[in-house]
Amino acid sequence: MYDISNKGPLIVGRDGLTELGIRVSNSTLLRWEFDGRFPRRIRMAGCSVAWPADEILAWVEDRKTERSRTHYARPD
Distance of CA 26 to the CA centre of its chain: 12
d(CA 13, CA 41): 9
Region for residue 8 given its phi and psi (left: phi exceeds 0; alpha: psi -120 to 50; beta: otherwise):
left
* Domain spans of the chain, in order of start: 11-69
The three-class DSSP label of residue 69 is: helix
Element (H, E) at 48: strand 48-52
**Residue-level pLDDT, tens digit, the chain, 76 residues:** 444 455 677 999 999 999 999 999 999 999 999 999 999 999 999 999 999 999 999 999 999 888 877 776 666 6
